[in-house]
Each structure stands twice: as structure tokens, then as C-alpha cells.
């Protein structure tokens, strides 16, 4: 397995792209409300990407027909935007990638729909724990650790809270290609697998289910959803490895 090492100049370009992506995601987050269609969120994402000098990473990738992946409730990832309307009490995952100056960045957030407190307690807790799992995974990023240290930190925390991590999908390296080596699982044994080195750039993305970890393909042919119909949440950041630790390239300011 060959894991690409980026130069400082390349990481700086990716940091610029990540900043643009985070700004777009912040704007999309403000639009999440009951009554809006997932297709409208996609339309705005594409408009903003072009306005800010980027291109859609996902559109056309493996024939995906949109810029934005919008997954609701039991949908885990990769759902195609449609005329489906967000309802009060839903939770929605937004997953977006941009291609900027020759490099991709990728991020995801899960948000409640509607008035504070309207989302059931389990859903709110699921969102909080998935975000915390991402933070715990990121803290394992430093030269000398292994990629399984990330997965182990995510898995241990999520399972300690009574939830499960997805097994069939994973995080990934990123750069000139949207998906590069290595694959980064959300589970694993510590100190196994490839070593993390300065200059690597990759996406950590916990996908967490309230029920069983098994998936099934969605009817749209692209998305995945929980086999048992339980709720799912998803958070993702693009991370660069520095000499002593990490830099989050898609930090929401």
C-alpha cells in the first residue's frame, strides 16, 4: 500500500480548499429547516462551490448525480438529493466535497431539523456522541501512531455509549484523488496497520447507528441505510498530519 505524502505547499492549498468547504457547510447548515427539500440544499451547495472557485467532488464520481449527499434519519451516507422535504424532528447528514486548485477536501455534519428540543432525546444524544467520536479519533493523529489507533478510539467510545459503528464503510486518504489510500475503519485493535506520518492527509468519518451496525442499499441505488431502520449520524473532517500532531483542514469557524 502506498500512502501519498503531501508537501507543505500542497497542504496549504488543501487548507484553503477546506476553509471554503467549511464556509459552504456553515451556510447549508443555516438552511436546514422543516419544509426545505434536499434538492434545494444540493442546488445551493453547487452554486456556492462555483461562486467560491471550486468544483463539486462528488458529482459524476462513480456516476453520483449531485454535489451534496443528504441522508435523513435511518439513511447513513451517500443518499441522492430529491424532492423529499425535511420534517420537524428529523436528523439530517450533509456530506460535501470540493475540488479546489487540483485537490479535494471532504467533510460531513449531522444536524437536527426544527425547534430546539423537538428532536427526540436519543437522536440528540446520537448526534453528540458521533461528533465526540470524531474528536476522539482526531486526537489520535500524530506521527508514530497507527490508523487503527484512530478506529479503536472511535469504536471504544461509541460502544461505551450503547451505539454501534459502521463496519462496511470507512474513512480514506484524500488529495489529488477523492479517495486515496489508506482506508480508515471506525473500529480496530490499537497499534496495528499502517503508521501515521507527517504530510499524510486523510478523512476521518465516524458513521454511528443507534441500533445494529449492518447496512442495506437504499432504493436510489447510491445511498446506504441501517438494516434495522434505526437512526444514524455522520461527522467527517479532512486532517493533515503535522510534525507533532494534526491540522483540521475543514474546521468550522
Closest CA to 239 of 231, 251, 249: 249
Backbone angles phi, psi at 50, to 5 degrees: -65, -40
Determine the pLDDT at residue 120: 80
Contacts of 246 (CB under 8 A, 6+ apart): 138, 141, 142, 239, 240
Determine the pLDDT at residue 121: 87
**3 state SS of 132:** helix
**Residue 24 confidence class, pLDDT cut points 50, 70, 90:** very high
pLDDT of 118 strictly over 80: no
Phi-psi region of 54 (alpha: psi -120 to 50; beta: other; left: phi over 0): beta
| Positive or negative torsion for Cα 28, 34, 38, 39 | negative
pLDDT of 99 strictly over 90: yes
Domains of the chain, start order = 8-248 (3.90.230.10)
Percent helix, strand and coil across the chain, each to the nearest 5: 30, 25, 45
How far lies 228's CA from each of 22, 58, 106, 214, 215, in Å?
A: 32, 27, 28, 8, 8
Q: How far apart are CA 179 and CA 177, in angstroms?
A: 5
pLDDT of 1 strictly over 80: no
Closest CA to 174 of 111, 89, 102: 102
DSSP state of 175: S
Contacts of 214 (CB under 8 A, 6+ apart): 167, 168, 226, 227, 228
Q: Please, are residues 137 and 158 in contact by the beta-carbon 8 Å criterion? A: no
Across the chain, what does the average pLDDT equal?
Answer: 96
**Residue 116 confidence class, pLDDT cut points 50, 70, 90:** confident
DSSP state of 195: B
**Residue 61 confidence class, pLDDT cut points 50, 70, 90:** very high
Alpha helices in the chain (DSSP H): 8-31, 38-51, 121-138, 147-160
Amino acid at each position: 500500500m502506498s500512502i501519498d505524502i503531501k508537501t507543505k505547499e500542497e497542504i496549504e492549498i488543501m487548507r484553503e480548499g477546506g476553509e471554503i468547504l467549511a464556509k459552504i457547510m456553515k451556510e447549508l447548515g443555516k438552511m436546514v429547516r422543516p419544509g426545505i427539500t434536499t434538492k434545494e440544499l444540493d442546488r445551493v451547495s453547487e452554486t456556492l462551490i462555483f461562486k467560491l472557485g471550486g468544483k463539486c467532488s462528488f458529482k459524476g464520481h462513480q456516476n453520483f448525480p449531485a454535489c451534496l449527499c443528504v441522508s435523513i434519519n435511518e439513511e447513513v451516507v451517500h443518499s441522492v438529493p430529491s424532492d423529499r422535504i425535511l420534517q420537524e424532528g428529523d436528523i439530517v447528514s450533509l456530506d460535501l466535497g470540493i475540488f479546489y486548485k487540483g485537490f479535494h477536501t471532504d467533510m460531513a455534519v449531522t444536524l437536527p431539523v426544527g425547534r430546539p428540543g423537538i428532536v427526540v432525546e436519543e437522536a440528540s444524544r446520537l448526534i453528540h456522541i458521533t461528533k465526540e467520536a470524531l474528536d476522539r479519533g482526531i486526537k489520535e493523529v500524530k506521527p508514530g501512531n497507527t490508523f487503527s489507533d484512530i478506529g479503536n478510539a472511535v469504536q471504544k467510545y461509541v460502544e461505551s455509549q450503547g451505539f454501534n459503528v459502521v463496519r462496511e464503510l470507512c474513512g480514506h486518504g484524500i488529495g489529488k484523488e477523492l479517495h486515496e489510500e489508506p482506508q480508515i475503519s471506525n473500529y480496530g485493535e490499537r497499534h496495528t496497520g499502517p503508521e501515521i506520518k507527517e504530510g499524510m492527509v486523510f478523512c476521518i468519518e465516524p458513521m454511528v447507528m443507534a441500533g445494529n451496525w449492518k447496512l442495506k442499499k437504499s432504493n436510489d441505488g447510491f445511498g446506504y441505510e441501517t438494516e434495522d431502520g434505526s437512526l444514524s449520524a455522520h461527522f467527517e473532517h479532512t486532517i493533515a498530519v503535522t510534525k507533532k500532531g494534526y491540522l483540521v483542514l475543514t474546521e468550522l469557524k
